[in-house]
């Protein structure tokens, strides 16, 4: 049986999982791939660290260059995390003609354009299924299974850590830091969980999905990103009472109608989703991605979005494809640019519905002043709730559900509202998604 040599850079949560499952399912994989996938070397920071899964100590190294120099390594798997060293490793692997597999979404979001240009130039494929939505095969789906479609929209819950935290806060009443500690213990969070919390891990994945769907590399500076770090239990509760669940949602749309000014809209933020919508029921570490195509219509993909085993499943699917790629020419080396779209829509023009909560003085005329400002900014109010309870400072909570307005309109109105003497900053402003039903 032919053997294919693999060099793994990184034996942490994901790398160890890949090693473990390659060993566990060796016979099945060998039959399906038609060759045996053999790990020849692994790169780690500390060769003396005790490990539950990994090659014998003699095959460990701290130098990624050893993977490039080893003629027995055909495929380089980058699972270290970080930017500079993985970039140097992947570039060196491409230049050496070694097929690349990576799960590093931060690296692809920031350097995808140059990595894929280099890969196409050298005709060396780069696979990255594990970069987005853990075990859900969403990369292959968008790039291959939905090739017949113009993608109309993608809605994704694509950060397992933040979905886990929101679920535990909502359903079990945990505080934020306890829920985060649980997610870290399960291996869901990034080495630096800031990216999970501030929305940027989901944003990196949204960039990858949008770039695949629309054929131009979306720049990090062109998207709107807000994390769950400023979300309060009060707003989760009010949203629940109004019939919504709050999810960190990636929204990607290409509605080129004149009202929207053309271009592709890419944003990630906490979002109120109607409880009746299927995405509202996606809990814990689970991810879900809803893709609408002009030919296929609506599709939905669901699965574990982080953690050792689902991510290893995605990496090994890439390894199987990489093994086949070693045999010859390919149509695609990871990402195929095309010229249909090409721009991101500026944030100011992006329109959505809103949830707005204000702490206000409880006296006559306050609601009228707020409503007046919204009115002259042409923002309609669809409902208002003012519970009879007050906050610790004796202020009333005013919760307004607002009709569709642009980001610019909403910001202008909010600035004016916060200048009213009767309103106590900060306000809580969240977007509402109705999935095309607006």
Nearer to ligand HSE, 146 or 314 (CB): 314
Measured from the CB atom, the residue of 306 and 356 that comes closer to ligand HSE is 306
Size of the site for ligand NAP (CB under 6 A): 29
First to last CA, the chain: 58
Question: If 0-12 CB within 10 Å is exposed, 13-18 middle and 19+ buried, where does residue 46 land?
Answer: exposed
191 binds, among ligand NAP, ligand HSE, none (CB under 5 to 8 A by kind): ligand NAP
Q: How far is the CB of 167 from ligand HSE (least distance, A)?
A: 12
**82 to 121: interface string for ligand NAP, x by CB under 6 A:** x--x-----------------xxx----------------
Report 66-85 residues binding ligand NAP (CB under 6 A).
79-82, 85
Catalytic residue, from 98, 105, 205, 247: name it: 205
Per the structure block, which two tokens stand in for 374? 């919204």
- Which residue's entry shows tokens 């032919």? 2
Interaction residues for ligand NAP, span 300-339 (CB under 6 A): 306-307, 311
Minimal CA–CA distance to 207: which of 124, 267, 163? 267
Of the candidate residues 5, 10, 112, 135, the single one contacting ligand NAP (CB under 6 A): 10
**Residue from the set 15, 125, 156, 334 that interacts with ligand NAP by CB under 6 A:** 15
- In whole angstroms, give the CA distance from residue 152 to residue 294: 6
* Residue 159 binding target from ligand NAP, ligand HSE, none, CB below 5 to 8 Å by type: ligand HSE
Residue 196 or 235 having the CB closest to ligand HSE: 196
CA distances from 288 to 132, 188, 230 (A): 11, 16, 23
> Which residue lies nearest ligand HSE, judged by its C-beta?
161
Residues 18-57, one symbol each (x = binds ligand NAP by CB under 6 A, - = not), give -------------------------xxxx--x--------
Q: Indicate which of ligand NAP, ligand HSE, none lies near residue 187 (CB less than 5 to 8 Å, by partner kind).
A: ligand NAP
Residue with tokens 């590399």: 217
Binding residue for ligand NAP, selected from 4, 5, 7, 13, defined by CB under 6 A: 13
Who contacts 296 (Cβ-Cβ below 8 Å, separation ≥6)?
Answer: 146, 148, 149
- Does the active-site annotation cover 253? no
Q: Does 352 bind ligand NAP (CB under 6 A)?
A: no
Crossing angle, helix 84-95 and helix 105-122, to 10 degrees?
20
**Can the peptide bond before residue 151 be classed as cis, meaning omega within 30 degrees of 0?**
no
d(C-alpha 253, C-alpha 264), whole Å? 6
Residue nearest to ligand NAP (CB): 12
Q: Over 193-262, what HEC string results?
A: CHHHHCCHHHHHHHHHHHHHHHCCCCCHHHCEECCCCCCCHHHHHHHHHCCEEEEEEEEEECCCCHHHCC
Query: Of 161 and 167, which CB lies nearer to ligand HSE in the complex structure?
Result: 161
Q: How far is the CB of 278 from ligand HSE (least distance, A)?
A: 19
Spacing of C-alpha 414 from chain mean position: 28
Looking at beta carbons only, is 306 or 312 nearer to ligand HSE? 306
Alpha-carbon distances, residue 274 vs 170, 232, 283, 358, 387 (angstroms): 15, 18, 14, 21, 21
Binding partner of residue 406 among ligand NAP, ligand HSE, none, CB under 5 to 8 Å per kind? none
**334 contact, one of ligand NAP, ligand HSE, none, CB 5-8 Å limit per kind:** none
123 binds ligand NAP (CB under 6 A): no
199 close to 227: Cβ distance less than 8 angstroms: yes
Sign of CA dihedral 143, 120, 125, 223: negative
Spatial strand order of the sheet with 99-102 comes to: 60-61, 36-43, 3-9, 75-78, 99-102, 126-127
Cβ closest to ligand NAP, residue 125 vs residue 134: 134
Rg (CA), the chain: 24
- Contacts with ligand HSE by CB under 6 A lie at 134, 159-161, 188-190, 196, 201, 305-306
Task: Tell me whether residue 5 or residue 103 sits nearer to ligand NAP (CB atom).
Answer: 103
- Smaller CB separation from ligand NAP, 26 or 49: 49
Q: What is the rounded distance in angstroms from the CA atom of residue 283 to the CA atom of residue 273?
A: 13
Q: Would you tell me which residues interact with ligand NAP (CB under 6 A)?
A: 10-15, 43-46, 49, 62, 79-82, 85, 103-105, 130, 134, 187-188, 190-191, 306-307, 311
Catalytic residues: 205
């Amino acid at each position: 049986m032919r053997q294919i040599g693999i060099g793994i850079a990184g034996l942490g949560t994901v790398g160890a999982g890949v090693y473990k499952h390659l060993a566990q399912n060796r016979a099945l994989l060998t039959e399906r791939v038609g060759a045996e996938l053999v790990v020849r070397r692994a790169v780690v920071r500390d060769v003396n660290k005790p490990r539950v899964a990994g090659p014998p100590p003699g095959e460990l190294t701290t130098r990624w260059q050893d993977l490039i120099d080893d003629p027995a390594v055909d495929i380089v798997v980058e699972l270290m995390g970080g930017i500079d060293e993985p970039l140097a490793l992947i570039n060196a692997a491409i230049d050496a003609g070694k097929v690349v597999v990576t799960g590093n979404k931060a690296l692809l979001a920031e350097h995808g354009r140059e990595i894929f240009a280099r890969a196409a130039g050298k005709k060396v494929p780069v696979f990255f299924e594990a970069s987005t939505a853990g075990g859900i095969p969403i990369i292959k789906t968008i790039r291959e299974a939905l090739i017949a479609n113009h993608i109309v929209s993608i809605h994704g819950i694509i950060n397992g850590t933040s979905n886990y935290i929101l679920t535990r806060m909502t359903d079990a009443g945990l505080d934020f830091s306890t829920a985060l500690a649980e997610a870290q213990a399960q291996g869901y969070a990034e080495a630096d969980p800031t990216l999970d919390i501030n929305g940027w891990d989901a944003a990196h994945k949204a960039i990858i999905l949008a770039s695949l769907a629309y054929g131009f590399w979306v720049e990090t500076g062109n998207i709107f990103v807000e994390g769950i770090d400023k979300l309060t239990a009060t707003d989760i509760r009010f949203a629940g009472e109004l019939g919504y669940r709050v999810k960190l949602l990636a929204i990607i749309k290409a509605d080129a109608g004149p009202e929207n000014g053309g271009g592709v809209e890419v944003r990630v933020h906490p979002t109120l989703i109607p409880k009746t919508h299927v995405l509202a029921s996606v809990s814990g570490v689970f991810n879900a991605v809803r893709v609408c195509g002009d030919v296929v219509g609506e599709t939905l993909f669901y699965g574990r979005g982080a953690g050792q085993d689902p991510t290893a499943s995605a990496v090994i699917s890439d390894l199987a494809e990489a093994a086949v790629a070693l045999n010859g020419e390919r149509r695609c080396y990871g990402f195929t640019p095309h010229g249909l779209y090409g721009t991101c829509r500026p944030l100011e023009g992006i329109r959505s519905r809103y949830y707005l909560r204000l702490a206000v003085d409880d006296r006559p005329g306050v609601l009228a002043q707020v409503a007046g400002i919204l009115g002259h900014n042409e923002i309609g109010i669809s409902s208002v709730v003012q519970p009879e309870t007050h906050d610790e400072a004796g202020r009333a909570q005013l919760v307004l559900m607002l009709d569709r307005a642009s980001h610019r309109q909403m910001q202008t109105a909010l600035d004016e509202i916060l200048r009213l003497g009767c309103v106590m900053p900060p306000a809580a402003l969240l977007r509402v998604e109705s999935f095309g039903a607006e």
